[in-house]
């Protein structure tokens, strides 16, 4: 009897919770983007929502065999995982070792080539969803209430449009902020908002402002030609009517930007843009015994944590030796995540690991410095725990990220291709012994923690808000409906200009008429009198 009663109560609870919960569809993504998405999805499940994640058959990071509390919806793509890995390898080779030795022109050509290749992969992913009748039928019959997407892989806006459901983006950045500026209508005056990947700060002198202005313009032209053109054709083809991909992107209800004011330079933004940097950050857990023992053996000197991220797991032998010999010269113990051959110059104070619990190490009381490639996830963990950084940025947003940290006095930066082991040693000593670095990163940490709710809670709040209110179009600025000359009030200025011209014209005409009447008449009368 009692058992039946509790089963009944349980059933009622389940039914009501799923009735309150939304049905959320999640767009596929990769790498660090997936690391950021996962805690949000887990929290959504905890709060009674149903979560379904689209996963391509060739995925490097999304592992459908891993036990997860959300549902996976696999779809087929035509390229192999090897093709993707090959592309990534080529991209890394270019970004890590070649880029510093190229002329601007060579760099531009290679970069646009890479962008095009990347877009070809993106289109093949997208084919697997929108061109698969089986998947589209499943999505339509799935009765989803919302699509959550990292737009780094395009097409989520197209699918949200086809399904007629609200769309929430989770985004770190786009090239030169092109998507945010053009499709999101986010204001970005080039005089004080540095373009993403420009490596500039918000304090620009005249020549930097010239460069930033050109940077926006050149990137916009390039992105128009290599990205929007292709997508517009694809979207038009799928929908059967001329469609602007940027316009579909602009329909997103909420943009969750994965940074915050501990990291960003202050800038204008819109009511549907929410800054939720540090979603994945959490308190440190105790370390495994062997690690804890090594960490404790460092004594008062403490430890240095070194990783170049999940994508760059090794470097050339020469670079590895240079790094190892730099690390050998510091008094701290070093935990280095590295998957290459053991460098000959490795010091007794340095241990190499295939994988390290980065967050738990950064949160350890003995953590003194973090040597990082400057990925946003790692930087946020360092900010969360207040650990000064030595940056060796490589690609994407990494150089920019480190510029932000340097400008805020929490990091020093090096280039892997030009640094020496002495540079590395001195840099580590500087961020540890010069107290300003620790103070500055602690200030950022305090800003990070001092907010009404955590980044994760805020991200989940806005997703639930969009679910409850069936969209968030009331936050969408009217700028989306204006042409560029209306937006800049050029038509109004033109109108005023015309009026001023008209007044001047009338004034001149009147003057010349009066002059004619007075002087010419008088002249005539004079002549008559003679």
Positions in the binding site for ligand NAG (CB under 6 A): 75-76, 132, 134-135, 314-316, 340
Among the listed residues 41, 177, 173, the one whose alpha carbon sits nearest the alpha carbon of residue 459: 41
Among the listed residues 352, 409, 361, 356, the one whose alpha carbon sits nearest the alpha carbon of residue 385: 361
- In the complex, what is the shortest distance from the CB of residue 128 to ligand NAG, in angstroms, rounded to a whole number? 8
Is-contact 368 301, C-beta < 8 A?
yes
Q: Find where tokens 């070792």 sit.
A: 97
- In the complex, what is the shortest distance from the CB of residue 338 to ligand NAG, in angstroms, rounded to a whole number? 10
d(CA 204, CA 454): 32
- In the complex, what is the shortest distance from the CB of residue 139 to ligand NAG, in angstroms, rounded to a whole number? 11
- In the complex, what is the shortest distance from the CB of residue 74 to ligand NAG, in angstroms, rounded to a whole number? 6
- Which residue's CB is nearer to ligand NAG, number 288 or number 340? 340
d(CA 522, CA 530): 12
Phi-psi region of 240 (alpha: psi -120 to 50; beta: other; left: phi over 0): left
Q: Cβ contacts of residue 299 below 8 Å, gap of 6+?
A: none
- Which residue's CB is nearer to ligand NAG, number 22 or number 56? 56
- Which residue's CB is nearer to ligand NAG, number 18 or number 316? 316
Is-contact 92 312, C-beta < 8 A?
yes
- In the complex, what is the shortest distance from the CB of residue 60 to ligand NAG, in angstroms, rounded to a whole number? 13
- Which residue's CB is nearer to ligand NAG, number 76 or number 436? 76
- Which residue's CB is nearer to ligand NAG, number 81 or number 520? 81
Residues pairing with 372 in the sheet: 307, 391
d(CA 431, CA 22): 47
- In the complex, what is the shortest distance from the CB of residue 316 to ligand NAG, in angstroms, rounded to a whole number? 4
- Which residue's CB is nearer to ligand NAG, number 138 or number 509? 138
- Which residue's CB is nearer to ligand NAG, number 336 or number 462? 336
- In the complex, what is the shortest distance from the CB of residue 146 to ligand NAG, in angstroms, rounded to a whole number? 22
Q: In sequence order, what DSSP letters do the residues of 336-378 get, joined into one string?
A: EE--SPPPTT--TTEEEES---HHHHHTSTTEEEEEE---HHH
Structural element, H or E, at residue 233: helix 229-239
- Which residue's CB is nearer to ligand NAG, number 93 or number 498? 93
- In the complex, what is the shortest distance from the CB of residue 468 to ligand NAG, in angstroms, rounded to a whole number? 32
Is-contact 272 475, C-beta < 8 A?
yes
- In the complex, what is the shortest distance from the CB of residue 78 to ligand NAG, in angstroms, rounded to a whole number? 10
- Which residue's CB is nearer to ligand NAG, number 132 or number 236? 132
Is-contact 303 295, C-beta < 8 A?
yes
Counting every residue written for the chain, the total comes to 530
- Which residue's CB is nearer to ligand NAG, number 3 or number 134? 134
- Which residue's CB is nearer to ligand NAG, number 135 or number 432? 135
Rg over alpha carbons for the chain, rounded to the nearest Å, is: 29
- In the complex, what is the shortest distance from the CB of residue 129 to ligand NAG, in angstroms, rounded to a whole number? 9
- In the complex, what is the shortest distance from the CB of residue 135 to ligand NAG, in angstroms, rounded to a whole number? 5
Distance set, CA 330 to CA 266, 302, 364, 393, 500 (Å): 37, 11, 19, 21, 72
Is-contact 340 314, C-beta < 8 A?
yes
Distance set, CA 76 to CA 56, 71, 283 (Å): 6, 17, 38
């Amino acid at each position: 009897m009692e058992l039946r009663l509790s089963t009944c109560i349980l059933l009622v609870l389940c039914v009501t919770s799923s009735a309150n919960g939304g049905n959320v569809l999640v767009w596929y993504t990769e790498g660090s983007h997936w690391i950021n998405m996962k805690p949000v999805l887990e929290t959504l499940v905890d709060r009674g929502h149903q979560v379904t994640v689209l996963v391509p058959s060739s995925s490097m990071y999304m592992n459908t065999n891993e036990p997860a509390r959300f549902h996976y919806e696999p779809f087929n793509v035509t390229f192999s995982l090897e093709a993707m890995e090959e592309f990534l390898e080529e991209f890394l080779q270019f970004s890590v070792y070649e880029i510093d030795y190229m002329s601007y022109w060579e760099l531009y050509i290679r970069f646009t080539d890479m962008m095009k290749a990347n877009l070809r992969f993106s289109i093949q992913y997208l084919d697997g969803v929108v061109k698969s009748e089986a998947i589209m039928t499943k999505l339509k019959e799935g009765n989803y209430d919302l699509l959550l997407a990292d737009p780094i892989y395009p097409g989520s806006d197209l699918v949200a449009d086809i399904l007629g459901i609200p769309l929430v983006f989770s985004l770190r950045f786009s090239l030169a902020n092109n998507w945010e500026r053009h499709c999101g209508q986010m204001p970005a005056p080039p005089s004080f908002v540095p373009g993403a990947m420009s490596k500039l700060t918000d304090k620009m002198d005249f020549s930097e402002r010239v460069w930033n202005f050109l940077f926006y313009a050149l990137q916009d032209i390039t992105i128009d030609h290599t990205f929007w053109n292709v997508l517009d054709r694809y979207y038009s083809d799928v929908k059967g009517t001329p469609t602007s991909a940027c316009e579909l992107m602009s329909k997103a209800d909420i943009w969750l930007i994965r940074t915050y004011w501990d990291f960003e330079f202050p800038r204008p933004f819109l009511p549907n843009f929410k800054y939720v940097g540090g979603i994945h950050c959490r308190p440190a857990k105790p370390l495994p015994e062997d690690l804890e023992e090594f960490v404790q053996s460092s004594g008062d000197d403490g430890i240095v944590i070194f990783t170049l991220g999940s994508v760059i797991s090794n470097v050339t032998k020469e670079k590895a030796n240079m790094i190892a010999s730099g690390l050998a010269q510091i008094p701290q113990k070093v935990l280095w995540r590295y998957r290459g051959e053991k460098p000959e110059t490795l010091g007794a104070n340095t241990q190499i690991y295939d994988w390290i619990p980065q967050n738990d190490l950064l949160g350890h009381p003995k953590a003194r410095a973090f040597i990082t490639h400057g990925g946003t996830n790692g930087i946020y963990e360092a900010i969360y725990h207040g650990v000064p950084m030595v940056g060796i940025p490589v690609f994407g947003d990494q150089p920019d990220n480190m510029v932000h940290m340097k400008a805020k006095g929490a990091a020093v930066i090096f280039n892997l291709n030009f640094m020496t082991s002495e540079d590395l040693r001195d840099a580590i000593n500087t961020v540890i012994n010069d107290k300003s670095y620790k103070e500055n990163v602690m200030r950022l940490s305090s800003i990070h923690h001092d907010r009404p709710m955590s980044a994760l809670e805020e991200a989940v709040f806005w997703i639930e808000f969009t679910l409850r209110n069936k969209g968030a179009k009331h936050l969408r600025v009217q700028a989306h409906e204006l042409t560029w000359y209306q937006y800049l009030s050029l038509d109004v200025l033109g109108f005023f200009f015309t009026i001023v011209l008209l007044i001047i014209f009338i004034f001149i005409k009147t003057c010349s008429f009066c002059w004619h009447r007075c002087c010419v008449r008088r002249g005539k009368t004079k002549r008559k009198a003679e």
